[in-house]
Amino acid sequence: MSVNEQIILAKRPQGMPDESDFTFEEQPLPVPQAGEVLVRTVYLSVDPYMRGRMSDAKSYAKPYEVGEVIAGGAVGQVMESTDPTYREGDYVAGTWGWQRFAAVRTGTLRKVNPDLAPVSTALGVLGMTGLTAYFGLLDIGQPKEGETVVISGAAGAVGMIVGQIAKIKGTRVIGIAGSDEKTKYLTEKLGFDAAINYQTEDLASALAEACPNGVDVYFDNVGGEVSDAVLRLINKNARIPICGQIALYNLEKPDTGPRIQSLLLTNTALMKGFLVGDYANRYNEALHELAEWLRDGNIQYAEHIVDGFEKTIEAFLGLFSGENLGKQLVKVSEEQS
Ligand SMILES: NC(=O)c1ccc[n+]([C@@H]2O[C@H](COP(=O)([O-])OP(=O)(O)OC[C@H]3O[C@@H](n4cnc5c(N)ncnc54)[C@H](OP(=O)(O)O)[C@@H]3O)[C@@H](O)[C@H]2O)c1
């Protein structure tokens, strides 16, 4: 255990990334300085937004530098501490990213309570993706009882939580996802009212059938042609939280779709992009409510866990081919009591 292993951005991907865009490097185990802890990664997160940071195009998040460790969400256990408020064995969540060990400033960490839920949920339903679902749907979507809510990327980490919160709010919920296994899971396990496989069904007619009263809220995780089809059905005063556009992340040229301004104007609809980080001062309120819903069985979550640090890139690439049902994670080491 004197060696750390890190995944480094070797070059900026063109189009769909592949293994050659990354290298695995070994480094000596870091030594925590004053105010830091040494953490052993237990789970790390792979997320679609990371693709954006691999490019140097201007965006809301700083691009990764070539030669730098891929930063991102991770949960780990403290091995050594210079801060009396953190003890060996404590579970923490932070953004030290794709590496087996890290020396991390405690000010950037949040403690994770293993008695509340499995610690992996700090990267999903009780972490960034759960918070994204919560704020995007409730703050922008503002679902009202009896309305119709459509969600793209519905069987992913954000999407499946959006749908269940929308059910709590008494709406009719339609999910769009990329396989029959996923659509079945949404309707049979999570109680969605209908789910559509956009890979095999005629989306326009399936949507028309599933949404006889039109669409009041469209929670957009994917963009592209899926969104073009949903937007044709929006109702007067529809709300459209723009959460993600994964269908576009690997395109090398900008994609031009239908010009939708008239549709928004004539329906007096609101389309609004949002970033979960902008809600940071309300995280505690949301985490409290998400944890209650989880405890009371009002929401469930799924995780797609790949075992082994060496499979991190495969897990990341799988997001773009829809390998995951629920939150995609990599298990790096065992939890130790
Ligand atoms: N705004 C924010 O603050 C914020 C925060 C977190 C995430 N996001 C965004 O939210 C979206 C969902 O994130 P997540 O972490 O929950 O990921 P996820 O949904 O768990 O995983 C990505 C899913 O996207 C679908 N997908 C991949 N390529 C697609 C394509 N070309 N067309 C349609 N669907 C495609 C796949 O499912 P299928 O099998 O269904 O195709 C895949 O499983 C992403 O766009 C992400 O960037 C935004």
Question: What would the pLDDT profile of 115-128 be if each residue is shown by its tens digit?
Answer: 999 999 999 999 99
pLDDT of residue 58: 84
Q: Which atom of ligand 1 is nearest to the CA of 273?
A: 1
* Per-residue pLDDT in tens (0 to 9) along the chain, 337 residues: 689 999 999 999 999 999 999 999 999 999 999 999 999 999 999 999 999 999 998 888 899 999 999 999 999 999 999 999 999 999 999 999 999 999 999 999 999 999 999 999 999 999 999 999 999 999 999 999 999 999 999 999 999 999 999 999 999 999 999 999 999 999 999 999 999 999 999 999 999 999 999 999 999 999 999 999 999 999 999 999 999 999 999 998 888 899 999 999 999 999 999 999 999 999 999 999 999 999 999 999 999 999 999 999 999 999 999 999 999 999 999 999 8
Domains 3-124+303-331 and 128-277 in one fold:
no
- What residue owns the CA closest to ligand 1's atom 20? 156
Taking CB atoms within 8 Å and a gap of at least 24, the contacts of 184-187 are 185/155, 185/302, 185/325, 186/154, 186/155, 186/160
Ligand 1, atom 36, lies closest to the CA of 322
Angle between helices 157-168 and 128-135 (to 10 degrees): 40
Give the ligand 1 atom nearest the CA of 136: 1
Tokens of 235: 């109702």
How many other C-beta atoms lie within 10 A of the C-beta of residue 337? 6
Segment 24-53, tens digit of pLDDT: 999 999 999 999 999 999 999 999 999 999
Q: Distance (Å, rounded) from C-alpha 24 to C-alpha 10? A: 9
C-alpha 89 – ligand 1 centre gap (Å): 33
List beta partners, residue 224.
Answer: none
Which whole-number Å values give the CA distances from 222 to 48, 55, 200, 287, in the listed order? 10, 19, 17, 25
Q: Which residues line ligand 1 (CB under 6 A)?
A: 47-49, 129, 132, 153, 155-159, 177-179, 182, 221-222, 224, 226, 243-247, 274-276, 319-320, 322, 324, 328
Cβ neighbour number for residue 128 with a 10 Å cutoff: 23
How many angstroms separate the alpha carbon of residue 233 from the centre of ligand 1?
Answer: 22
Q: How far is the CA of 11 from the centre of ligand 1 (A)?
A: 23
Is the CATH code 1.40.20.10 the one for domain 3-124+303-331?
A: no
How do the domains of the chain map onto residue ranges? 3-124+303-331, 128-277
Q: Of 335, 311, 334, nearest to 46 (Cα)?
A: 311
What is residue 1's predicted lDDT score, i.e. its pLDDT?
66
Q: Is 158 helix (H, G, I), strand (E, B) or coil?
A: helix
The pLDDT assigned to 256 comes to 87
Task: Give me the pLDDT at residue 59, please.
Answer: 85
Burial class (CB in 10 A: 0-12, 13-18, 19+), 220: buried
Under 8 Å between Cβ of 77 and 42: yes
Pocket test for ligand 1, best of 121, 165, 222, 303 (most atoms within 8 A of CB): 222
Which residue among 221, 274, 306 is best mutated to probe the pocket of ligand 1, counting the most ligand atoms within 8 A of its Cβ? 221
In CATH terms, the fold of domain 128-277 is Rossmann fold (3.40.50)
